[in-house]
Structure 1
């Protein structure tokens, strides 16, 4: 068999080029000839574009596809939506073997492996093909958030806070701009540009009047703008900046974030950023709705002021949930810590 371990690692590299917004998973595909040579590569570039397998097939010499092996990070879909099923395209091209890292959790699109197998295509999971766990695990990580959202039928929620070394998001007089430096703020905009929706409470709108747009370091608007969502019963002022910015915005007159997330799921959002203030973030944390936490830590001490998180109902240290650190990154003088919620809370 061609070197599928290398090919799956390469497919994961390709998948990382795709966006996390748009409702679809990031997927990469490498097509290998019978002698192990790379025939073609492809990745999914976003909703409405060709899936990774179709992109790879489109770039291949048809004469080299007979008997080829397709190595894919996610099980090929067997669903007709905005694009045709990848299973039929692979079968029609003469691909003889498919190796995939992760099964498709979406009942609408799943079943591709079984369909291919019943038509004489050899189908193997990465584990069955002998791919090392670290390689297949990297591919699985690419779809973990999306797969979790699909299984729960609720968006993957990223919570964001920017705080001082002593855990404050504003000084005693209420000033909060800017705790972090330009590098951290620029990074936060890249996160906005890679989610389907950004959510704040009415308190943040009234106090800070944010535009909630995703901007590049030079101040220009990013190509993708998330849906701007305000949660709360108070009215959004007609002159609010988020009303004037390009793109769509939505006011959900509820204090129940779970209900708001259900609405956003129905609207197609699969990755949501909760950005709006300690009250909203604390409520989301208390309800175990935050899946991924981004904490931008600035080297400043305030000693007093608004805490980053309100009471979470933790009576003693032994009961405090231990989040799982995923990455740490220096951004100028600031530090970004990304952590996932405890596995037991998923």
Structure 2
């Protein structure tokens, strides 16, 4: 009896192996198969939907399904937007000079297509993200930024909008490209209860735009009611100037007393070689050679403001707020929490003598 039962179990096991396992393998291989969707009457196929490698940890089945749909939808939409709107232009000199303080060399690599025809939604596999709010004014597909309005030189509101969108460009690079960005974006949309405004990737981009406005625009240009302005811009408690001063030639020059940096409308100086080195890591600009600082460089504004980011002076890690101040972290947990709330911020490595060109404010908040 025992022999018969063992033989039966052996035969049953073989049956499961030969007949059931192919079905299991087909089921689990489905994400790697070509998936085709129809977008605006055109079939678009995506070959590699398996997010296992680029996605750390695990997600529940519903969130994963939304992510898979997003990988298809975002890439399909990017292709349609390229064909629909054509080529774009680089950021202008004024935009670059200010945005470089936050995004570094990325400002040289994005292109902006003004007057674009927008997608109203991203859809695939029965999952849709309605593109309302901010993204009806602009949409970003990695390094290509589409803006519905025409180009407005020296327009502050358009600069803040571009800040939000360039953060999405940065997110796309951090996640490895269009397919992975689409996966993450749709998954976070699902996790936010299918709410655009509370999608963590939108919250991150909006926080970046607000911090940039407060710590870069207001520091470099000034936020005051003495000029035409947007009162309490976006509810941020900032009186944002409506226009930016035009900027032209910029770069580093030596007037015989020291090295200075011109942003095209004013110039600033450096308190130490470390200060200059720190500033150059974000502000790449040509060397203008020996120049007279009284000839065409505008007003001297004092010490150049160090860009925002993290640095190490050998004794610990500090954070430059991008407004001439820096703070410290009392423990590794505080540093980790601070970094999580500011993804994508630059790590400047070793910087010595930061207190010579920035004011120390104590523990970081």
- Interval of TM-score (by shorter of Structure 1 and Structure 2): under 0.3
Quick check: which one's helix share is greater?
2
The structure showing larger relative contact order (alpha-carbon pairs under 8 Å, at least 6 residues apart) is 1
TM-score of the pair, normalised by structure 1 = 0.25
Larger CA Rg, structure 1 vs 2: 2
TM-score calculated relative to the size of structure 2: 0.24
